Amino acid sequence: MPEYKSKSYSHIIKIVLILIIVAVAGVYVRAKVLPGSFGEFGHYRGDAVKDEINRPLRNGTNASCLVCHPYIREMHLKGVHHTVSCEFCHGPVADHVKDGKVIARLPKKQGRDIKILCLRCHNQIIRARPKESIKMISMPQHLKEKHVRTDHICNQCHNVHAPLMWVKQARAMVGVEEDSK
């Protein structure tokens, strides 16, 4: 078979030209599109750090609530829920207070919604939660054990802000000592 060798290189030149155009266009578009602060600290927009810092705070600590709610403060700090965040159950302070003034009401769960709220932390079904750090119950067994109707909701026996307060008071009233379990 006779060896055939083309003397025409025009197709190769076309490809090289196209590649050069694509590369130049790429460099141009990249320069146009990339934000100025890109790469300042790493492979991201440097100004993103400033944006995050300047984002208005939405959440506060429990101290930010307790100044205005002395009645709840009394119960909450003495009760077993003193480590639990007010905002977990009521939402962020920013939706309620601005510059020291009340601007809107925070949601306050009622009825069956309270049960759902409590069980987000106390449901035995959540296997990953260490039993030593948080007491878990399963429903409706819990209510059966307490010999009540299973349509009872948690805050009929547990003060939501100090869950054992009423239980202890009831015990003291009928003269039952701690832990009759």
Interface residues toward ligand HEC, by CB under 6 A: 60, 62, 64-69, 72, 76, 80-81, 83-84, 86-90, 93, 96-97, 100, 102, 105-106, 108-109, 114-115, 117-122, 134-135, 137, 139, 142-143, 146, 148, 152, 154-158, 160-161, 163-164, 167, 181
Considering beta carbons, is residue 50 or 59 the nearer one to ligand HEC?
59
Burial of 175 by CB count in 10 Å (0-12 exposed, 13-18 middle, 19+ buried)? Answer: exposed
State both tokens at 128: 């990953």
For the bound state, the minimum distance from the C-beta of residue 159 to ligand HEC, rounded and expressed in Å, comes to 7
- Closest C-alpha to 168, from 19, 77, 176: 176
Considering beta carbons, is residue 26 or 107 the nearer one to ligand HEC?
107
For the bound state, the minimum distance from the C-beta of residue 155 to ligand HEC, rounded and expressed in Å, comes to 4
- Closest C-alpha to 162, from 54, 78, 36, 55: 78
For the bound state, the minimum distance from the C-beta of residue 161 to ligand HEC, rounded and expressed in Å, comes to 5
Answer for the pair 46, 39: CB distance below 8 angstroms, yes or no.
Answer: yes
For the bound state, the minimum distance from the C-beta of residue 38 to ligand HEC, rounded and expressed in Å, comes to 38
Q: Give the chain's end-to-end CA distance (angstroms, integer).
A: 99
Considering beta carbons, is residue 48 or 84 the nearer one to ligand HEC?
84
Considering beta carbons, is residue 48 or 165 the nearer one to ligand HEC?
165
Query: CA 148, CA 181: separation in Å to the nearest integer?
Result: 17
